[in-house]
Amino acid sequence: MLILHSYWLSLATYRVRIALRLKGVAFEERTYDLSKGEQHAPGYRRLNPAGAVPALEGATPRPLTQSLAILEWLDETYPTPPLMPADAAGRARVRALFLVTAADTHPVVVPRVRKRLAEQFAASDADVKAWAAHWFREGLVTYEAMLDDGATRCHGDALTIADLALASHLIGAARFDVDLADFPRVRTVGEALLALPDVAASHPRLQVDAVAPA
């Protein structure tokens, strides 16, 4: 049985959780409360030295880490349904769309960065929230320019890892109260994605370790 090391609010884990469900791969989750620093426990650091979720354990000699690497491994190992286009140009575009979130925006809003802003620069909760909202908005501006008018998927007609990234980005944007009014293409794709059963069931608030808002 595969073990997905996770945290309910983790957007990177959400991307992988959706793919596991879409591909019908059985897995169980082991959760870590990132707000309590459980990702730094020595036992977990041995699985992922970066002290971050997700990690996927149980199928490869070493645990898999990094959502992009895990998703590409999953797609190669369980090809149905494919989450990458058949053509090289399509794959390049899908990776570029994925990385708008996974390389350019999400890395600067993860808990360790928000914690550092508070500790090193005395950023208030409001400052940190505005910081996160800024980067989610920047990502939305990029997606809006990259998506096609009227499209219900990021690339072509089939679901790809780019859609998993956009779905995760939208959850983060909502969490930090980013207004989507200026992003009609993103909204159209996002509504179509969040209506898919495997995407809906993977939503952070439905996970076993989810905490109700205070």
Task: List residues near ligand GSH by CB under 6 A.
Answer: 10-12, 34, 39, 51-54, 66-67, 102, 110-112
- DSSP code for 13: H
Closest contact distance (angstroms) between CB of 112 and ligand GSH is 3
Q: How many CA atoms lie within 13 A of 149 on its CB side?
A: 0
CA-closest candidate to residue 7, choices 51, 43, 46, 62:
51
Q: Is 148 left (phi over 0), alpha (psi -120 to 50) or beta?
A: beta
**Nearest to 127, CA basis, from 146, 113, 114:** 114
Task: Name which of 70, 38, 33 is nearest 208 in CA terms.
Answer: 33
Question: Residue 122 Cβ, how far from ligand GSH at the closest point, in Å?
Answer: 19
Q: For residues 143 and 185, which CB has a smaller minimum distance to ligand GSH in the complex?
A: 143
Min dist CB 64 to ligand GSH, Å, is 10
- Pick the closer one to ligand GSH by CB: 87 or 205: 205
User: In the bound complex, what is the minimum distance in angstroms from residue 90's beta carbon to ligand GSH?
Assistant: 21
Minimum CB–partner distance for residue 100 and ligand GSH (Å): 12
Three-class SS state of 93:
helix
Whichever of 51 and 90 has its CB closer to ligand GSH, that residue is 51
User: Do residues 4 and 153 touch, judged by C-beta distance below 8 A?
Assistant: no
